[in-house]
Structure 1
Amino acid sequence: MKLDLQNIPRRKGLSQDEFLQEYFIPEKPVVIEDLAKNWPAYSKWDFDYFREKAGEVVVPLYDSKPAKGRQASHGPAMKMPLKEYIDILEAGPTDLRMFFFNLLQNCPELVEDFQYPELGVKFFKKLPVLFVGGEGSKVVMHYDMDLANNFHFNFTGKKKVILYPPDQTGLIYKVPYSIVSMEIIDMDAPDFEKYPALAKAKGFETRMVHGDALYIPSKWWHFIKYETPSLSLTLRSLPRSPKKIAEVLKNILIMRNYDNVMRKIKGQRWVDYKNELAIKRTHKYAEID
C-alpha cells in the first residue's frame, strides 16, 4: 500500500497572469523550473560559497527527536558556526537541520544574490528564510502557523516534498492544539496498519533539484525529506483576507500559548493525550473502527 499522491505540475516560462489564474488564486501547487535562473544565487549558492561568506555565523540546529514532557516544542538541539555544520553535512547522513534562518538579519550581504519574483504577489520582504538539511533528515508534516503562501527555492542537493491540501486535514492525524501531524508517523514510509486513514488522503509530491521553485499555497500541509544535503530559500507572502488574519492571530496568541502552558503543567501526559485524541478524531472522520 502506498500514499495516494499525484505529481505536482512542473512549468517553465510561466507568466504572471498564468501563475495567478492557474495556481495562486485557485490555491494549487506548482514547481516553476526557471524562476531563479537569472539570480546570482542560481550559480553561486553551494556549500563552499556559504562557508566562505557566512562560515563564522553561529546557527541554531534542530534534530528529529520529538519534544517530550515539558520540553519546548520548537527549541534547537544545538548551535555552532555554519562552517562546522557544513563539515557535518559533507561527512555523511545527519538529521541536523537549519530551520527558518532569517537571511536578512544574519547574512544581509547574501540578500543581493536573489530578487523577489514579479508574480503579482505581495512578498513579506523582512523574512527571507534559509532551510538546510543533511542527507536523510526529515521535516514533520505540518502547515505554517502564519498561513503564509510559500515560494521555496532549492539550490544545492535534492529533496522530496509531499503536500496535502487543507481539505485533507481530517485524514492525516492532525495533533490537536497544533499545526503538525503526529511526529511518530514517517510520511516517507507510513505504517498503514497503525494509521490507515492515510491511505484515504489524496495529496501531491515532487522531487526538487537545483533551481526548482515550489509554490506551496497557504495552509497546505508539507512534509520534506532531504535525499542529499540540501540548501533552500523560502520567500513568503502573508495572508491578507480578514478570515485568515483572524486565524493567524488565534494560532499565535491563543493556540500556541495554551499548548505551551499545558505542556508545562502536564508534561508528557499532555503530549500523549493529544496523540491519542489525534488518532481518535482521525479514525472517526475516516469512519475507521
Structure 2
Amino acid sequence: MIDSTKNLSLKRVERVKTISPKDFVENYVKPQKPLVIEQLSHDWQAYHKWSLAYLKGIAGDTEVPLYDNRPASAKDKFNQAHATMKLKDYVDLLQKGPTNFRIFLFNLIKEVPELKSHFTMPNLGLKFLDRLPFLFFGAQNTSVFMHYDIDFANILHIHFEGKKRCIIYPPSQTKYLYKVPNALISLNEIDFNNPDLDKFPALTLAQGYEAYLEHGEALYMPEGYWHNMTYLTPGFSMSLRTLPRGVKNMSRALYNLTIMRGVENLMRKFKGDQWISYKNKFAYKRQSRRLESELHRK
C-alpha cells in the first residue's frame, strides 16, 4: 500500500509534452535535472502495439529471468535470477494478481529482433546505446528496492501499459539514504512507499523527486540518480541509456564494474552471509552517526 502522505521531501518531476535536443541538453542534461517527456514515444509503433498481451503473443515462448525482493544472500551471484519462466506464463501470472516476481534488465529485443523496428533512438542530443534496450516487468504493487545503476548512465525510462510511481534522488542525497557499503543499494528493509521514519529518520532530510508514468511517457534520470520504481498496475518499461558524459563518472563506473564487484564476490565467497549482515549493520550505524553530526551542526 502506497502512502504518499509520508513525510519524505519529494518534488514532482517537471513535465513537458515534447522538447528539442538543444533545450533538453542545456536545461536538463548539463544541470543533471530529471524530466518527464509525455509524448516521446507517440510516433513509435511500440506506442500503438506494445502491451502485455502483444508481447505474450509475439515472444511468449522466450525464457525470461525472474527476481523477487528476498534479501541479498552470499549464495547468489551478482544479478543472479531467482527463477525462470516462459514469458507467456509470466504474463498470465501478472494478470492473475499480486506476485513478487519481476523481470529486471532483460534484453528481449535481442531475443526477438522484430521488436527493434518498433522504436527509434530518441533525438535528444545524447547518443543512446542501441544494443542495450533493457525491459523491466512487474505486477501491481511490485516495488524495486532503492538503488543506482552500476554504470552511471544517463537513463531514459519509457513506461508501457498501466501506471508506475518513481521516487528518485540525486547523488548529492546519498548521505541520507542508508547506503550499504560496497554496494549500489539502500538498506533492503526500507519501504520507500511507506517508510518507517522513526527507524530511518535520516530519510526526512533527503531532497528527492516523484513522478507518475503512464503508457508511452518517458522519465529522464541523470547519471548516478537513485531510483525506486513501483508498478501501480501490471506493466513493463524499457530503459535506454548512454555512457557517462564526464571522466569522473566514467571512472566511478569502471570502479564499480571491476574493483567493487570483485571485492564483493571475494567477501561473499570467504565470509558468506556474515559479510552481508555486517554491511547492513554498518550502513545503519554510519547513517545514525551522520544524522547526529548533522543535527549537532544545526
Say if 1:164 and 1:204, in contact at 8 Å, map to a contact too: yes
- The equivalent residue for 1:53 is 58
Name the count of aligned residue pairs.
289
Q: 1:100 aligns with which of 85, 102, 105?
A: 105
Residue 235 of structure 1 aligns with an amino acid whose one-letter code is: L
Match of 2:168 among 163, 168, 181: 163
> Does the 8 Å contact 1:69/1:267 carry over to 2?
yes
In structure 2, what is the Cα distance between the partners aligned to 1:11 and 1:127?
Answer: 25
What is the alpha-carbon distance in structure 2 between the residues aligned to residue 98 and residue 67 of structure 1? 17
SS at match of 2:100: coil
Give me the whole-angstrom Cα distance separating, in 1, the residues matched to 2:74 and 2:23. Answer: 48
Deviation at 1:113, TM superposition (A): 0.6
Which one of the candidate residues 61, 85, 92 is aligned to 1:87? 92
The separation in 2 between residues aligned to 1:15 and 1:46, in whole angstroms, is: 28
- Aligned AA for 2:206? A
Residue among 57, 62, 71 paired with 2:67:
62
Q: Which residue type is aligned with residue 65 of structure 1?
A: R
Give secondary structure in 2 for the equivalent of 1:84.
Answer: helix
Once the two structures are TM-superposed, the CA of residue 73 in structure 1 deviates from its matched residue by 4.7
| DSSP-derived class of the 1:207 partner | strand
Within 5 Å, give how 1:39-50 maps onto structure 2.
Answer: 39-50=44-55
In the alignment, the residues of structure 2 paired with residue 37 and residue 96 of structure 1 have an alpha-carbon distance, to the nearest angstrom, of 29
Structure 2, unaligned runs of 5 or more? 1-5
Say whether residues 1:31 and 2:33 are aligned partners: no
Counterpart mapping for 1:46-195 below 5 A: 46-195=51-200
1:255 corresponding residue in structure 2? 260
Q: How much does 1:256 deviate?
A: 1.1
Structure 1, unpaired ranges of 5+:
none
Q: What SS is found at the alignment partner of 1:34?
A: coil
Query: How far apart are residue 192 of structure 1 and its match?
Result: 0.9
Whole-angstrom distance in 2 between the partners of 1:208 and 1:105? 25
RMSD over aligned CA atoms reads 1.3
Moved over 3 A (4+): none
**Greater CA deviation, 166-175 or 262-271?**
262-271
Which position in structure 1 is the counterpart of 2:209?
204
- Aligned-partner Cα distance in 1 for 2:94–2:161: 12
1:115-140 per-residue CA deviation (whole Å, 9 max, x = no partner) reads 10100101111111111111111111
Say yes or no: does 1:233 pair with 2:238: yes
Contact kept in structure 2, 1:150 and 1:217, CA below 8 Å = yes
Alignment counterpart, residue 278 of structure 1, candidates 270, 277, 283: 283
Does the CA-based 8 Å contact 1:103-1:127 persist in structure 2?
no
Instruction: State the identity as a percent.
Output: 45
Aligned counterparts of 2:57 and 2:261: Cα–Cα separation in 1: 38
